[in-house]
Chains A and B, each alone.
Chain A
């Protein structure tokens, strides 16, 4: 019985174990059947749910349009650079962790392998700069512009450089270095603000950031194309989809003549050197050459300047720091368009026109020219206190640049205006209205970004009041404080007195202010371009231009897409008789003496020139030297060129600016040399642009040796994207700069 019980129990136990065994085996069999079904029998297998997750669109960058001068010479071109990129995941996947690749690459690039490793590793707490700021899967550019030897060394031994790729990219090329640098402008990488403003921008694009590059960005940039690619799960391209070719940007032809531009820049540089040799500071200067009949700008020179090449492919931090350092004296600023200087006697075009047109003096009227004059309680003198005997006509007053002659009418006008105010009427402010009518105190409206154009300033009753309301607290605080920080006692006294006056009477527009305005001093400031526009009006029948640099936008097939024409802002309110009178008064043809003509003594072209010098006093600085001129001056409206020269802190107009301008005219007219300008006249017809082929749409037929072609090189970027990465964009490595 005991045995039977045991066997029964045993059967029970093994029965329970059998239950477990059946359970376990059936579970495992279930798994095997399910596995077989899933792997072998199932015909509707799950795949990656959306294939388009593995397609990407690679931007095919549009070739940026070139900028040409009026004869078709390249001012801004394009250049293909070889960029070296490193695919970090491929490099570190090497057996040795990429040591060999990085050592070899480092030796070629002259960089330590561990520095390279830092550069290609995404930024993080463990990897501070230099580090990679882009997406981890993107190849990292380690050299933006590799030299041919490096490229050859890598491409000949690709097996030694796994993960290292060479990609061609197109960057701006500046064959003339610093020529017209401020007006040409530069490009920068597209930033978040730009994309916000224009969602069509790709962050791989560059965008014009200043000058013509910014002003004509929309037409220069062109339209990017795209190349669809199919990627495997590793991110490698397995197939190419449809290609939408890029449409190259338009070519911008300008009215700049590179010969005259070079001439102006070299004359400016030479004059600065000569003035410095004579003991002047002469830190900066500017030249404007424009066609007064058309309003087209022929040259715009500004010193100091900079080499645009530093911006090619992105500017380095060091280069940018040196450009904006105080020692560099702001080379990015165009003195011609954005500089603001007291015009001195060149301004007498405005005051002379105003005095005659507003009836203060008849055209044949006269006035005295004493050495000094009491103006509202202040004694104001002529330049060097020179007095001229007898009664002077306007012609003579302009020719010898007599200040006291103009003071007299400014005093009369002021007194009359004050009387009108006392009678409850509005003042006439003839000088101010004439100045505005000649385009001063407002931006010239040239085809450059508005922020790069100076409006200048003129004093008046209303502007005085506005300024005083805004600043009186500061004036009074400064007067009370006494400029304790100013080390020079004389300057401290001057500033304190000025502040005390401004505190109580800063709102007053006084008689001496009006006298200062009549000779281009006091608060009067103008840009050289504004002065050139005003003198153009003098010799073109009174038309006030908004001048242009751009002349035409040329499509890739060579056709003119758009002609850019200067806009006539209006006519100056001066009769042709008066304009002719003033122009003749300032003519060097002889028969009468003109200050400034002395600078042209001995030049065969002296008789072709008309012009007015200016010597502007600036408190605490040496005089600003001006010369505003035109040629040829056969008849009052025959001028083809208006040339304005300005040299800061260089003495009188006839000692610096006029000799500089003489050198420019002699170059234009070929004195002792071949004329830099064909026929010595401004270009009047657009250069012939030979159609250029867009590689992806039609085969190239353009002759390679045609200098006037925009010659857009075929970059591999533009035709066959190498698609090293599934990225839709490639970021610039260097910091974008937008001053």
Chain B
């Protein structure tokens, strides 16, 4: 420690980068993704807005406003002292669960999912915040013990996850439910839960999925989407229309793309929900492989930085960070994967890039917590 103190004046540049209290790479990669998203959202919506007689920039402005709000949320969450995480976690969990209950009572239905609460001026999608709530709740649960979680803790964790999972499936929102599972898995891995538990849970999930299909828990449209995925080229005017149109857009983008605002599929409004779940198809068509790969690369930077924070963090911080990484990682893979035809279609936004206030703010909140953990890491190792 003393060595570091002595070294400090001699290597100011390196010290500032390594020991900065703000993880600039993490924050800037997210900001850049948000800005790229703004252009893509603009491109996806301007012609339909114009032909409806609206302001062609209205989605652009709202996306940018969401980005500003998310930055403020990030800055606020980043101030949270990590030692208070123990108290903040349960509060976030309970509040977000109340949000999920509220949406079932007073929510509105969009595209067949009962997932939104209409507030004056904007809609809230509580499932997005439930992801943060569950991760912090689980982290607090497992942070009490310093050794491997025992069976009771794992069972409590499963219970904590089952509650939002059930509420989300009632909406129904299969995509968010899968993200919850992914986040749970990530926290359990980071919490050093025994391998037999992990294997058991994965097997149980597979059996559960098969039973769900057989018993008919999934809605018809969800099954159709799954069939559309397993049998490509089938029903491209129906269940597979959306993804088929997105794939046309991406495939014809080539190496460098058609140019921003120049994609025929995007301009022709062939891809429904393009500004949200299929925003990646705009990137593929108009920015080409280089632009689309840049987006994946930025996510890579973001996730690797987050894992670095997890590695350096104390137990609770590591669990939160691992949960967030698993959430983002799965959601990114699922979203881009369905655009590329290697994952079935579920309604999930691409973090920071897709249009959507709740997703953006929940992402900002999660990154804010990571920043708080990072600041704590720097404080511990640096002080």
Interface positions of A (Cβ within 8 A of B)? 12-14, 16-17, 19-21, 23-25, 27-28, 30-32, 34-36, 38-40, 42, 45-49, 88-89, 92-93, 97, 121, 136, 232-234
Instruction: Name the one of B50, B252, B311, B337 contacting A92, with C-beta atoms under 8 angstroms.
Output: B50
Interface contacts beyond A92-B51, A93-B47: sample of 8 additional A-B pairs, CB < 8 Å, sorted by A: A20-B322, A24-B304, A34-B342, A35-B292, A36-B289, A38-B340, A40-B254, A49-B237
B192 located at the interface, meaning its Cβ lies under 8 Å from any Cβ of chain A in the complex: yes
CA A689 – CA B189 in complex, angstroms? 96
CA A38 – CA B237 in complex, angstroms? 21
CA A98 – CA B350 in complex, angstroms? 35
Residues in B with CB closer than 8 Å to A48 are 248, 270
Contact of A39 with B296 at beta-carbon distance under 8 Å, contacts A20-B326, A97-B53, A232-B264 already known: no
Interface positions of B (Cβ within 8 A of A)? 47, 50-51, 53, 56, 186, 189-190, 192, 236-237, 244, 247-248, 250-255, 264-265, 267-268, 270, 284, 288-289, 292-293, 296-297, 299-300, 303-304, 307, 310-311, 318, 322, 325-326, 329, 332-333, 336-337, 340-342
17 contacts between A and B (CB under 8 A): A13-B190, A16-B322, A17-B318, A24-B307, A24-B325, A30-B333, A38-B251, A39-B288, A40-B254, A42-B251, A45-B251, A46-B248, A49-B236, A93-B56, A232-B264, A233-B264, A233-B267
B184 shortest CB reach to chain A, Å: 13
A465 shortest CB reach to chain B, Å: 67
CA A92 – CA B54 in complex, angstroms? 8
CA A426 – CA B288 in complex, angstroms? 98
**Chain B interface helix/strand/loop/mixed:** helix
CA A19 – CA B187 in complex, angstroms? 12
In the complex, are the beta carbons of B51 and A89 less than 8 A apart? yes
In the complex, are the beta carbons of B244 and A92 less than 8 A apart? no
Most buried by B among A39, A45, A48: A39
Contact of A17 with B51 at beta-carbon distance under 8 Å, contacts A39-B250, A45-B251, A233-B270 already known: no
Contact of A28 with B253 at beta-carbon distance under 8 Å, contacts A14-B311, A16-B192 already known: no
Residues in A with CB closer than 8 Å to B304 are 21, 24-25
Contact of A45 with B192 at beta-carbon distance under 8 Å, contacts A28-B303, A34-B342 already known: no
CA A46 – CA B251 in complex, angstroms? 7
Residues in A with CB closer than 8 Å to B293 are 32, 35-36
CA A49 – CA B247 in complex, angstroms? 12
Residues in B with CB closer than 8 Å to A36 are 289, 293
Closest 5 CB pairs of A and B: A233-B268, A45-B251, A89-B51, A93-B50, A39-B289
In the complex, are the beta carbons of A17 and B311 less than 8 A apart? yes
Nearest A residue to B245 via CB reads A48
In the complex, are the beta carbons of B192 and A31 less than 8 A apart? no
Instruction: Name the one of A20, A49, A88, A233 contacting B307, with C-beta atoms under 8 angstroms.
Output: A20
In the complex, are the beta carbons of B322 and A17 less than 8 A apart? yes
In the complex, are the beta carbons of B192 and A13 less than 8 A apart? yes
Residues in A with CB closer than 8 Å to B300 are 25, 28
CA A318 – CA B311 in complex, angstroms? 83
In the complex, are the beta carbons of B340 and A34 less than 8 A apart? yes
CA A182 – CA B310 in complex, angstroms? 92
Residues in A with CB closer than 8 Å to B190 are 13, 16-17, 20
Nearest A residue to B147 via CB reads A9
A137 shortest CB reach to chain B, Å: 9
A365 shortest CB reach to chain B, Å: 89
Residues in B with CB closer than 8 Å to A39 are 250-251, 253-255, 284, 288-289, 292
Nearest A residue to B249 via CB reads A46
Residues in B with CB closer than 8 Å to A14 are 311
CA A8 – CA B250 in complex, angstroms? 47
CA A590 – CA B94 in complex, angstroms? 121
Contact of A234 with B268 at beta-carbon distance under 8 Å, contacts A25-B304, A36-B289 already known: yes
B279 shortest CB reach to chain A, Å: 14
CA A32 – CA B297 in complex, angstroms? 9
Residues in A with CB closer than 8 Å to B284 are 35, 38-39
Most buried by B among A31, A42, A45: A31
Nearest A residue to B299 via CB reads A28
CA A663 – CA B358 in complex, angstroms? 91
In the complex, are the beta carbons of A24 and B329 less than 8 A apart? yes
CA A701 – CA B300 in complex, angstroms? 75
B192 shortest CB reach to chain A, Å: 6
Most buried by B among A38, A40, A92, A233: A38
In the complex, are the beta carbons of B289 and A35 less than 8 A apart? yes
Residues in A with CB closer than 8 Å to B247 are 38, 46
In the complex, are the beta carbons of A20 and B325 less than 8 A apart? yes
B299 shortest CB reach to chain A, Å: 7
CA A232 – CA B318 in complex, angstroms? 53
CA A17 – CA B296 in complex, angstroms? 21
In the complex, are the beta carbons of B340 and A21 less than 8 A apart? no
CA A28 – CA B189 in complex, angstroms? 19
In the complex, are the beta carbons of B329 and A27 less than 8 A apart? yes
Residues in B with CB closer than 8 Å to A16 are 189-190, 192, 322
CA A40 – CA B296 in complex, angstroms? 16
Nearest A residue to B55 via CB reads A97
In the complex, are the beta carbons of B252 and A45 less than 8 A apart? yes
Residues in B with CB closer than 8 Å to A233 are 264-265, 267-268, 270
CA A48 – CA B333 in complex, angstroms? 26
Residues in A with CB closer than 8 Å to B189 are 16, 19-20
A121 shortest CB reach to chain B, Å: 7
Residues in A with CB closer than 8 Å to B253 are 39
B145 shortest CB reach to chain A, Å: 12
Instruction: Name the one of A12, A21, A38 contacting B250, with C-beta atoms under 8 angstroms.
Output: A38
B97 shortest CB reach to chain A, Å: 26
In the complex, are the beta carbons of A32 and B296 less than 8 A apart? yes
Residues in B with CB closer than 8 Å to A23 are 329
Residues in B with CB closer than 8 Å to A13 are 190, 192, 311, 318
Instruction: Name the one of B50, B244, B264, B303 contacting A24, with C-beta atoms under 8 angstroms.
Output: B303
B267 shortest CB reach to chain A, Å: 6
Residues in B with CB closer than 8 Å to A27 are 329, 332-333
CA A89 – CA B53 in complex, angstroms? 8
In the complex, are the beta carbons of A31 and B251 less than 8 A apart? no
Residues in A with CB closer than 8 Å to B251 are 38-39, 42, 45-46
Nearest A residue to B146 via CB reads A9
Residues in A with CB closer than 8 Å to B250 are 35, 38-39
Residues in B with CB closer than 8 Å to A28 are 296, 299-300, 303, 332-333
Nearest A residue to B255 via CB reads A40
Residues in A with CB closer than 8 Å to B267 are 233-234
Residues in A with CB closer than 8 Å to B311 are 13-14, 17
Nearest A residue to B188 via CB reads A16
Residues in A with CB closer than 8 Å to B268 are 232-234
Residues in B with CB closer than 8 Å to A97 are 53
B374 shortest CB reach to chain A, Å: 15
CA A20 – CA B185 in complex, angstroms? 10
Nearest A residue to B53 via CB reads A92
CA A232 – CA B263 in complex, angstroms? 12
Most buried by B among A24, A28, A30, A42: A24
Residues in A with CB closer than 8 Å to B303 are 24, 28
Residues in A with CB closer than 8 Å to B237 are 49
A460 shortest CB reach to chain B, Å: 68
Instruction: Name the one of B192, B270, B288, B307 contacting A21, with C-beta atoms under 8 angstroms.
Output: B307
CA A356 – CA B134 in complex, angstroms? 115
B357 shortest CB reach to chain A, Å: 26
In the complex, are the beta carbons of B325 and A46 less than 8 A apart? no
CA A410 – CA B37 in complex, angstroms? 101
Nearest A residue to B233 via CB reads A46
CA A47 – CA B247 in complex, angstroms? 9
